[in-house]
A and B are shown apart, each in its own frame.
Chain A
Amino acid sequence: MEDLYETAPCGYVSLSPHGTIVKANRTLSDWLGWPPETLVGKAVHDILGFGGRIAFETHLAPLLRLQGHVDEIALDLLRADGDKIPAIANAAEKRDAAGKHRFTRLTLFKAVDRRTYERSLLEARGKAETESKVQAEAVLVRDQFMAVLGHDLRSPLAAIAAGTRLLARREQLSEQGRSILSEMTKSAERAAALIDDVLDLARGSLGGGFVIERDADEPLTPVLEQVVAELRAITPDRTIESRIDIDEPVCCNRGRLGQLASNLLSNAISHGAPTQPIRFEAVTREDRFVLTVVNAGDPIPADVRDRLFQPFFRGHARPSQQGLGLGLFIASEIAKAHEGDLDVSSTINETRFTFTMPRASSVGT
């Protein structure tokens, strides 16, 4: 028994109620570099690192009094030469029959590797927390910047649009002048659409997602018909086959669904094979509204498909068609705001975007 106590593979130490060492085994005295006889009589503080000393007084001693034992405390032992040994300690109070505190037993385990591992985990966690904080702040600053910039760009752009309208109506222009003016008008409209996208993104993320109002007061069909007509007018060289067969009403935000349809069609125009028709279909099936846009062309690679709906993602488009990469992101946000899904499938034959949503809102109108 004596040998088991003295040379056990862990340190044993007994403390008086005042925290004085009254007994310690040889394993512990070897670890600490104090001869056994010099350990007895020292305060427990003398063999603890400073953090452990304060913690002993503020945490361990109260816990021992209150519950009689404390387990798995990580602390540093202080060697005679000042070096520290990371250790894990269990402690228990020995009380007499009357409940009076006689002494405290501490069992100590060396835990160099484990503590190093735990500390590196803590450091990694701290670093990750800091990084994600920095990232979140950067995104916030970006969104605020975009919201301000987008807002401020609107006024000069409105002035340019008003100016071109005045020129077209009031001034006698040459053939070339009229053609330039028409291009300027289109460019201004495109710039306005880009700004709207940016503002949508900024508002969406600053406000924690798109919040939209839905109602079933008006039919959806004319809105979608107009979107198709507009895109046909902008790209007369492309064929858009359209089928709209909606059992009205659909509880939705019509402006936003028009935007979703427009973004999907613009995407098909930008990325689809120019010689093949684009098929647009908006129908109701039982209690769902389903909108699909199909184009031919090269299939979308799987890795690109995964990122399609992320903001600022841009695939390969002709330079003139290059946008900010917000169209599909905004479409998917609009889908979410309608409790709907926007999915994509892409094969050699076709690329198909499918949006489905419930015809009635689950949250009421």
Chain B
Amino acid sequence: MFAHGFGCDQAMWTQVAREFEADYRIVLFDYVGHGQSDLTAYDADRYSTLDGYAEDVTEIGRTLGLSNAIYVGHSVSAMIGALATLKAPGMFSDLVMVGPSPRYIDDDGYRGGFSRAQIDELLEFLADNHLGWSAAMAPAIMGNADRPDLSARLENSFCNTDPDIARDFARVTFLSDNRDDLAAVNVRTLVLQCSSDIIAPVEVGQYVHASLPNSDYRLLRATGHCPNLSAPDEVTAAIRDFV
């Protein structure tokens, strides 16, 4: 199962997932509010913590009857996957975390790389950049839930997110703190860390590796936060080596 991170949708995994099609059954999905998901299913309460998203992952797993599956999560989905393994023991036997961070904001004795003010700047950016989208397009899409193809008319036809949900998701993601959950994650885990990633710096990846009871750590040559897009071959090879 490949889970996308904050800012995009399952299209992020297309290139990597393709490489595993011959040997595995592939599960790709969009979180509610992203990609082609049903926006009406969004519930601000349920998704006010990463737990709600982890519930969705386990729901998908239960519906498909998954057991001992491999979960590959990018960015915030790395932690969502960790929570899912705690909620549904046996569903996943292996976790691959791509660019994970258990907490983005600095804390006493911990450096996540972000300050609260910087998170607010991000929320402001999101507000600025969905102005036209939310005003003109959202009603058209919302009113045509039975025609998800309408969203293809947007200028950016990939990584569509509902602006309000994107803001919620950003807040939940960047204010989350899952450091204490890591010690309880007892499935085999691979931490894939990018060389230069301002979202999840190297020391955060090392922190995750050190906090997990049973993990491998691999530093990729790839830079940026989305190696699944910028260096799909390297990510594919790393996952293959691990599983």
Tell whether A and B belong to one assembly: yes
A52 within 8 A of B: yes
Q: Distance (Å) between the CB of A276 and the closest chain B CB?
A: 53
B199 within 8 A of A: yes
Q: Bin chain A's interface residue count.
A: 20 to 34
Q: Which of B5, B75, B131 contacts A122 (CB under 8 A)?
A: B131
Which of B54-62, B184-192, B219-227 lies at the binding interface? B219-227
Q: Which of A50, A62, A75, A121 contacts B159 (CB under 8 A)?
A: A62
Contacts of A58 in B (CB 8 A): 5-8, 75, 199, 225-226
Assess the B128–A115 pair: CB atoms within 8 A.
Answer: yes
B155 within 8 A of A: yes
- Binary interface encoding of chain A residues 131-144 relative to chain B, with 1 for a CB under 8 A from any of its CBs, else 0: 00000000000000
Q: Distance (Å) between the CB of A125 and the closest chain B CB?
A: 9
Q: Which of A18, A49, A62, A76 contacts B8 (CB under 8 A)?
A: A62
Assess the B128–A59 pair: CB atoms within 8 A.
Answer: no
A299 within 8 A of B: no
**Which residues of A does B touch, CB under 8 Å?**
17-19, 45, 49-55, 57-59, 61-63, 65-67, 70-76, 101, 115, 118-119, 121-122
Interchain CA distance A101-B229 in the complex, whole Å: 11
Q: Distance (Å) between the CB of B113 and the closest chain A CB?
A: 10
B176 within 8 A of A: no
Assess the B131–A52 pair: CB atoms within 8 A.
Answer: no
Q: Distance (Å) between the CB of A101 and the closest chain B CB?
A: 8
Look across to chain B and name the residue whose beta carbon is closest to the beta carbon of A49.
B121
Interchain CA distance A115-B131 in the complex, whole Å: 11
Interchain CA distance A52-B155 in the complex, whole Å: 19
Assess the A19–B121 pair: CB atoms within 8 A.
Answer: no
B140 within 8 A of A: no
Assess the B223–A54 pair: CB atoms within 8 A.
Answer: no
Assess the A55–B122 pair: CB atoms within 8 A.
Answer: yes
Interchain CA distance A71-B118 in the complex, whole Å: 24
Given contacts A61-B226, A63-B159, A66-B229, could you give 5 more A-B pairs where the C-beta distance is less than 8 Å? Answer: A55-B7, A58-B5, A58-B6, A59-B7, A66-B11
By Cβ-Cβ distance, the 10 closest A-B pairs, closest first, are: A58-B7, A51-B125, A51-B121, A65-B229, A57-B225, A66-B158, A74-B128, A50-B118, A50-B121, A59-B7
Interchain CA distance A52-B224 in the complex, whole Å: 14
Assess the A119–B128 pair: CB atoms within 8 A.
Answer: yes
Interchain CA distance A246-B225 in the complex, whole Å: 78
B37 within 8 A of A: no
Contacts of A72 in B (CB 8 A): 132, 155
Q: Which of A51, A70, A122 contacts B156 (CB under 8 A)?
A: A70
Q: Which of B75, B122, B129, B226 contacts A74 (CB under 8 A)?
A: B129
Assess the A59–B159 pair: CB atoms within 8 A.
Answer: yes
Contacts of A66 in B (CB 8 A): 8, 11-12, 158-159, 229
Contacts of A67 in B (CB 8 A): 156-158
Which residues of B in the span 117-136 have a Cβ within 8 Å of any Cβ on A?
118, 121-129, 131-132
Pick 28 A–B contacts, CB within 8 A, sort by A.
A18-B223, A18-B224, A50-B121, A51-B122, A51-B123, A51-B125, A52-B125, A54-B121, A54-B122, A55-B129, A57-B7, A57-B224, A58-B6, A58-B75, A59-B8, A59-B159, A62-B12, A63-B8, A67-B156, A71-B155, A72-B132, A72-B155, A74-B125, A74-B128, A74-B131, A75-B128, A76-B125, A121-B131
